[in-house]
Amino acid sequence: MATAKPKYYVTTPIYYVNARPHLGHTYTTVAADAIARYKQMRGFDVLFLTGTDEHGQKVERSAKKNNESPIDFVDRVSGEYRELWKELGLRVDRFIRTTETRHAHAVQHLFREIQNNGYVYKGHYEGNYCVSDEMYIDDSTPGATCPECGRVTERVKEENYFFQLSKFEKPLLNYYEQHPEFIQPEARRNEVISFVRGGLRDLSISRTTLKWGIPWQGDEKHVFYVWSDALTNYITAVGYPIKKDEFNRYWPADVHLVGKEIIRFHAVYWPAFLMAAGLDLPKKVFAHGHLLFQDEKMSKSIGNIQSAQPIVNVLGVDALRYFLLREIVFGGDGSFSREALIARYNSDLANGLGNLASRTAAMIGQSFDGKIPKAADLAPQDKELATIAEESIAQVLAQYDKFEFSRALESIWSVIAAADKYLTTEKPWSLSTSDTDQQRRGTILWVTAEVLRIVTALAHPVMPESTSKVWKLLGQPGSLGAQELDSLRWGQLLPGVALGQLQALFPRVEKSEAMERIEAMENQSQKPAAAPTPAPAPQPSVTAAPASAPAAGEKIAIEDFTKVEMRVGQIQTAERIVGADKLLKLTVDIGSEIRQICAGIAQFYEPEKLIGRKVAVVTNLAPRKLRGVESNGMIVAASVGPEGRPVLAGFLEDVEVGARLK
């Protein structure tokens, strides 16, 4: 009988919507995505949850400051998070918002259970509160600063419902003792244990001084304290309390991934709530460190923000994922710098994986008609490389199991380096065309391609987009993400398989130019978004200029121009589109890849005369469909005369395909 797949449920914190997403939020979500992909490749039925935390004083105030109603405000910012994860291609299964009705029911239900079990009472809280961290600060004098973020706290005196956290001191300590894997890494575990040993005070779990929250049923002047509301998201998302089958399937979560500053909420308060309600505890809470930028924790209030999109626009999403998980040891703090990012990109990706893939494919293309060659008996140096690759499999899986991404990538890249060295020593290109030499060349290239197949599969959880391209390049069937890592072995590469299309995976970038572009885009994106304006009254029908186009003669800043990426492209194929007289469907080589672009030039250019022509291409436009045909870029042309006849922009000197227009 076929056994059902085991489940794996991974979560990120749900992010506050008081500010837009930055690289710190992306860091956790990308790590969770890599875990989700890895577990999927280990045969699990994975559920990956993220979402937004939308209640509380901080959000209420941010909405007010922005002149928006709380609900409009949270809809907008939550949408930005959701869009960003989509843009980055993350395989999020569920996105939860704490303003959903089902979540209000779950919170009310959970705390009613806790109350029925005798762990809730009404009392008065008098003390300090940090709005930025949405955290009560006990034992402090009025006006004291928050020990977490250093901001001045606010004095709070109000009637609250309290949770008897003090009753859970011993049960929690016992639990930590019996489940040493529950809090990780070890340093965080020790920190939590000493905090609990220091004594736990009862926790206020409702507020009466704000409205923007989930009402306490039967006592509606109270709303739930934002953390009691937020933590419950992890069970709401899997059906609590209504969808019992689903809840029983996915709960308890296998891991809550969090930043270290919120470990206490996840490793003390949350398990205590669950114990009080008689529910199972998550299997693991893993707290990673902070991403520092210019030596401080990246945060909106400090103003040292880098967001993901400029990096992705310039270097691609996998470059960002690789950097975050390779450069920073998961669990510790780590610095982000644009310089280090680009250095790693050029050395590890352009010269490393990218170069190995394109060299291998090009040689197989030239000498074996684009088909994987057959290996003869392996020589000792071939076997040595085979052993390195084969042994890396178990090693990398063990490192991924412990979320040691940086070490796993280091192991994978040491195999890439060994393959590079092997090629340099074996020099397949210098062998003659004699039968013996051709056979030796086949063996060398089969060995190299097999190494490439193995490292590609192993790197997939971290670099899904580019490894999928290499997988196709190697002519491998099916989607790489659906492959089972447990069946990955040396020697599975079949000879005779035709290679796919060669694409430049990571074109080398010039450091200062790439840094400038990332910085310019970042500065542009940090400009405050225009306050929402009421929709204009309908106008009589006129041809409107695109909403964002400046009026004729109006000047734009250089950053506006640098947002447009233009490259030299070379037209490879051109054909008419049935039913669209004005459009031609082109494939254009832009250096790093081949793009399909539709151009409205069919009435003025013969398709066959365009082949080989070099043109200017706008390469960073969002893809769109024209007459049902996908167009991924735009060809630049002058618009001449009253009928706007297109005349393609070109170059008098010979220019390299892929060169940037500036």
What is the spatial distance between Cα 245 and Cα 275, in angstroms, rounded to a whole number? 21
Which among 126, 128, 109, 106 is positioned nearest to 117, based on CA atoms? 109
Among 8, 27, 85, 269, binds ligand MSP (CB under 6 A): 27
Check residue 499 for interaction with ligand MSP (CB under 6 A).
Answer: no
Length of the chain: 662
Q: Does 473 bind ligand MSP (CB under 6 A)?
A: no
Q: Binding of ligand MSP at residue 648 (CB under 6 A)?
A: no
Min dist. Cβ of residue 119 to ligand MSP (A): 20
Shortest CA distance to 371 belongs to which of 490, 475, 478, 441?
A: 475
The answer to the question of residue 291 lying near ligand MSP (CB under 6 A) is yes
**Is residue 298 part of the contact set for ligand MSP (CB under 6 A)?**
yes
Q: Is 15 a residue that touches ligand MSP (CB under 6 A)?
A: yes
Q: Which of 10, 13, 175, 485 binds ligand MSP (CB under 6 A)?
A: 13
| Distance from C-alpha of 28 to C-alpha of 26, rounded to nearest angstrom | 6
- Piece of the chain touching ligand MSP by CB under 6 A; list 229-237, 278-286, 301-309, 579-587: 229-237
Comparing CA positions, the residue from 398, 499, 520 lying closest to residue 446 is 499
Q: Which is nearer to ligand MSP, 134 or 404 (CB)?
A: 134
Please list every residue from 46 through 85 that binds ligand MSP, using CB under 6 A: 53
Shortest separation between residue 307's beta carbon and ligand MSP, angstroms? 12
DSSP 223-243: EE-HHHHHHTHHHHTTTTTT-
Using the rule CB under 6 A, is 269 a contact of ligand MSP?
A: no
Q: How many residues bind ligand MSP (CB under 6 A)?
A: 20
CB of 27 to ligand MSP, least distance (A): 5
290 binds ligand MSP (CB under 6 A): yes
**Do the bridges between strand 223-224 and strand 206-207 make them parallel or antiparallel, or are there none, so unpaired?**
antiparallel
Number of H helices, E strands in the chain: 22, 25
| 185 forms part of the interface with ligand MSP (CB under 6 A) | no
14 binds ligand MSP (CB under 6 A): yes
Q: How far is CA 444 from CA 155, 436, 467, in A?
A: 72, 12, 22
Give the distance, in angstroms, between the CA of residue 433 and the centroid of all CA atoms in the same chain: 47
* Segment interacting with ligand MSP (CB under 6 A) among 228-236, 316-324, 522-530, 591-599: 228-236
Q: Which contacts qualify for 144-150: CB closer than 8 Å, 24 or more apart?
A: 148/261, 149/301
Long-range own/partner contacts, residues 523-526 (CB < 8 A, 24 or more apart)? 523/559, 524/559, 524/560, 524/563, 525/307, 525/309, 525/310, 526/305
Any idea which residue has 């066959």 for tokens? 608
The nearer residue to ligand MSP, 16 or 250, going by C-beta atoms, is 16
Q: Pick between residue 323 and residue 506 the one whose CB is nearest to ligand MSP.
A: 323
Q: How far is the CB of 286 from ligand MSP (least distance, A)?
A: 11
SS3 526: helix
Q: Rule CB under 6 A: say whether 135 interacts with ligand MSP.
A: no
Contact 177, 190 (CB under 8 A): no
Residue 426 CB, nearest approach to ligand MSP (Å):
44
Contacting range for ligand MSP; rule: CB under 6 A; set: 12-20, 155-163, 213-221, 278-286: 12-20
The rounded distance, in Å, linking the Cα atoms of 341 and 334 is 12
Cβ at position 209, least distance to ligand MSP in Å: 19
Q: Is 258 in the site for ligand MSP (CB under 6 A)?
A: yes
Q: Which residue has the tokens 């996840």?
A: 266
State which residue, 57 or 467, has the beta carbon closest to ligand MSP.
Answer: 57
**Cβ closest to ligand MSP, residue 298 vs residue 571:** 298
For ligand MSP, the closer of residues 267 and 648 by Cβ is 267
Nearer to ligand MSP, 190 or 301 (CB): 301
E-strand ranges in 590-622 read 594-599, 614-618
Residue 25 in the binding site for ligand MSP (CB under 6 A): yes
User: Within 10 A of 211 (CB to CB), how many other CB atoms are there?
Assistant: 12
Quick one: which of 251, 224, 246, 257 has its CA closest to 235?
251
Query: Would you count residue 16 as binding ligand MSP (CB under 6 A)?
Result: yes
Distance CA 426, CA 441 (A): 9
Segment interacting with ligand MSP, rule: CB under 6 A, options 23-31, 392-400, 603-611, 632-640: 23-31
297 binds ligand MSP (CB under 6 A): yes
Residues lying near ligand MSP in the complex (CB under 6 A): 13-16, 24-25, 27-28, 53, 230-231, 233, 258-259, 261-262, 290-291, 297-298
